[in-house]
Each structure stands twice: as C-alpha cells, then as structure tokens.
Amino acid sequence: MKKINLKVRIAKAAWSCLCSVLCGLLIAPMVFSAESDFDENALTEVREVVKQLQSRYERTKDLQADFTQRTMIEGFERPIMSSGKLYIKKPGRLRWNYLDPSVEDIQVNQDDIKVYVPEHKQVLVGKLTQMAASKAPLELLQGAATLQESFNIEPTPGKGRGLGGIRLLTLLPKSHEGEAEKSLKRIVLEVFPKTYYIRKLSLYENSGNVASFEFSSLQANMGLSDSVFTLKLPADVEVVKAPVLSAPTVAPK
C-alpha cells in the first residue's frame, strides 16, 4: 500500500501557511514596525484596518468559508491549484478540507491533529506543536497568544491596496520564532470591504515559494456543531504516526 509521504503532505497542507492562516483568522493585538520608511497617512490606514479586523474576529465564535489555494513552487512554471472548505470554532478546533483536485481532510482539536487521505486509506496522527515545530499554532487556536510576539506589521509597498481601496497589510515574522516560522519571509493580507473578514492571504517563503489563499462565501457565528470537526474514518483505515520534526520552541518566561 502506498504510504503517506509526510513531506508531500506538509507541502500541500502548507503547515507554515496553515499556521499563518490561523494567525489571521484568530487575530490578536498586533505591534507595528518601528521602521520610519512609511508616511503617517499609510500607517494611520494600517492601524484602522487592524482595528476593524481585530474587532470583527473578536466577535467571531465560529467561521466557515470556501477557499482556493494557489501555490507557486520555485523552479516550476505552473502553479498548483486546489480548493475546499475551512471551518473554525473557538477555542482550538479547525477543519481544513481539501476537495479538489483530490480529497484530503485535516482536523485539529487543541494540540491533536489528523490528516486523512481517503485515496490511500490512511490517517496521519500527531501533535500540532511537534509537526509545526512551534507552540504558536496551538496558542493561537486557544486564543492565548498575541501576534506581537511573532510579527511586525507594515503597509504593503507598491500598489498596496485591495478591494474598495483598503490598505493591504504586510506581516513580517520576528527572527526569534521557531524553524517553521523562519521559512516564512512575509505575509500579505487583504480584507473584505465593510465586513473586514480576511479575503486573501499570500505567504512568501524564503525558498521562493508563494502560497495564496482566497476565501469566499464566509459565514460566521452559525453555531457550528462539534461533529463538524470529527473525522468519520472507515474501519479499515491505516493509522500512521507522524514523526516529530523538531522540538517545540519555548519562549523564556
């Protein structure tokens, strides 16, 4: 039987990307870059976007959305396209369900994670903190962390605006984060006009890879049942234990 290739699964599910998406969807207080290369008007606009974004997600208990993922791999001419549905429920539950071009179901409950691939009749099980090489994803899921520990926020250079002319945000990872975050160069975030829910998230890795997630059909506070986050596995599914990529990074107290 064909085994799950962990590197392939991580590339497709994009764990560094997933962690960063969680940062956006479970947004917490941010800190702005100390750089003075931006005019005050741009910084004022960014602060307002952050304020509206935080307010929106603080009032969100659960969220479901459709997503389209476009991944450009360094050295390849054509992007990898995939799509599916995303479900989040505070605290600590997430389901990332790929539907096209193939089915793959990722379920997170606190620190426990399962990656189910029906085609292979296998489920990969492990700990989010161990697979992501950082405690940040779990803390963000639990709503216990602040983005100021991980990112600085700047106005996005160049065009720098999305729908409705709203300023784009650039999140710059701080150097003290774990290995999973060190692979990430920056995140560019766009919000929907009026609602300020995240519309698009683009992740730029130091390797040159770029993964963009575009969200649509958002529905919030629908009272999602816990059963939505429970994988229904066939009796003959093979359980594969995920290896530990590295020890979680623990910040000094």
pLDDT at 127: 82
Structure tokens at 221: 């506070």
* Mean of per-residue pLDDT scores for the chain: 76
Best mean pLDDT range from 10-14, 89-93, 119-123:
119-123
Judge whether 65 and 96 are in contact, CB under 8 Å. no
If one counts every other C-beta atom within 10 angstroms of the C-beta of residue 10, the result is 20
Structure tokens at 196: 């300020």
Mean pLDDT for 107-121 is 87
DSSP states of 53-110: HHHHHHT-SEEEEEEEEEEEPTT-SSPEEEEEEEEEETTTEEEEEEEESS-EEEEEET
Q: Rounded to whole angstroms, what are the CA distances from 120 to 115, 123, 210?
A: 11, 9, 27
Percent of the chain, pLDDT > 70? 69
pLDDT at 190: 92
Which position has the higher pLDDT, 37 or 64?
64
| Location of structure tokens 């960063």 | 20
Q: Is the peptide bond before 101 cis (omega within 30 degrees of 0)?
A: yes
Percent of the chain, pLDDT > 90? 22
Of 138, 162, 174, 172, residue with least CA distance to 53: 162
Give 22's pLDDT tier (boundaries 50, 70, 90): low
Q: HSE-up of 235 (CA within 13 Å, CB side)?
A: 0
CATH of domain 6-225: 2.50.20.10
pLDDT at 136: 52
SS3 label, residue 112 = strand
SS3 label, residue 156 = coil
pLDDT at 111: 80
Which position has the higher pLDDT, 244 or 61?
61
Judge whether 196 and 56 are in contact, CB under 8 Å. yes
Which tens digits make up the pLDDT trace of 173-232? 776 544 444 677 888 889 999 999 889 988 888 888 888 889 999 999 999 999 999 888
Question: How many secondary structure helices (H) and strands (E) does the chain include?
Answer: 6, 13
pLDDT at 75: 85
Q: Quote the CA–CA distance of 169 and 171 in Å, as a whole number.
A: 6
Determine the straight-line distance between the first and last CA of the chain, rounded to whole angstroms.
46
Q: Is the peptide bond before 91 cis (omega within 30 degrees of 0)?
A: yes
Which tens digits make up the pLDDT trace of 39-91? 888 888 888 888 888 788 888 899 999 999 998 888 888 998 999 999 988 88
Q: What is the pTM of this model?
A: 0.79
Q: Is the per-residue pLDDT at 30 higher than 70?
A: no
Which tens digits make up the pLDDT trace of 142-151? 554 455 566 7
Q: Where are the domains of the chain?
A: 6-225
Q: Is the per-residue pLDDT at 247 higher than 50?
A: no
pLDDT at 16: 44
pLDDT at 65: 93
